[in-house]
Amino acid sequence: MTNTKPLILITNDDGITAPGIRALIEVMNELGDVCVVAPNSPQSGMGHAITINDTLYCDKVVIDKDAPQDEYSCSGTPADCVKLAVNEIIHRKPDLCVSGINHGSNSSINVIYSGTMSAAVEAGTQGIPSIGFSLLNYSLDANFEPVKKYVKTIAEKALIHGMPKGVILNVNFPDLLETQIKGIKVCRQADAHWVEKFDKRTNPLGREYYWLSGEFVNEDKGEDTDEWALQNGYVSVVPVQFDLTAHHAIKDINDWDI
């Protein structure tokens, strides 16, 4: 029997039991054979961390006994999961890697902190078509139903067309009802940033410590940005690259005459 279904690798950064990845698995089972390799604990804000000074455990698990996919729970970061999956579990490049659905936004500058997107970027560096999905709702009770049809459409298109070389998709969904979502917009990353605020406290032993928090500030009013799309009811799709070279600045720095 020939298996012509695509092989789809799924990971995330909220952990293998998070509702967001369960929704993503459900949709991907309609499109191909699914293998899940995801962190055994939440890894939000891990960026592109990899585990180089510690051991990695990766155990086969059954989370939904009626579902067809193989699942592996990994002690490492989202990027570790992708490396382990390709090299030690499925032993080949999957046809598609999808990461998410993240509980919370990875739009604009959030992409650089995102474990969800780092997993997708890691797959991209290995030449695997790859997409990160995120919903603008941090709650564990977030409703992923309205976005499932968009997840399916975008993944299907990626399977058909492949991905431009060196490009990964960063897809964010507004937290809206299905009838409120206006469609999909391909965007650029808004030029926004975080203004930090630290909550300074004293622990029971009298030692001071901090909690990191902050405020997201977007002064980029461009209607071609992901922030504009999301605020106006659209799904944002930003093509992201891992060639970080600021090619336009090479001349500027050469003019320093160093």
Give bridge partners of residue 168 from the DSSP assignment.
Answer: 240
Q: Which of residues 72-91 bind its own copies (CB under 8 A)?
A: 76, 79-80, 83-84, 86-88
Contact region for its own copies (CB under 8 A) — 48-56, 65-73, 91-99, 172-180? 48-56
State whether residue 227 is helix, strand or coil.
helix
CB of 239 vs its own copies, minimal distance in Å: 4
Q: Are 139 and 15 in contact (CB under 8 A)?
A: no
CB of 219 vs its own copies, minimal distance in Å: 12
Angle, alpha carbons 13-200-50 (nearest 5°)? 25
Contact region for its own copies (CB under 8 A) — 25-33, 64-72, 93-101, 201-209? 201-209
State whether residue 247 is helix, strand or coil.
helix
Q: Does 148 bind its own copies (CB under 8 A)?
A: no
Kindly state the number of chain residues that form the binding site for its own copies, as judged by CB under 8 A: 80
CB of 217 vs its own copies, minimal distance in Å: 11
Cα–Cα distance measured from residue 71 to residue 73, given in angstroms and rounded to the nearest whole number: 7
Give bridge partners of residue 195 from the DSSP assignment.
Answer: 215
Angle, alpha carbons 49-161-22 (nearest 5°)? 50
Q: Does 186 bind its own copies (CB under 8 A)?
A: yes
Member of 17, 29, 125, 231 binding its own copies (CB under 8 A): 125
Interface mask (CB under 8 A) for its own copies, residues 209-238, using x and -? xxxx-x----------------------xx
Q: What's the distance, Cα to Cα, between the start and end of the chain in Å?
A: 64
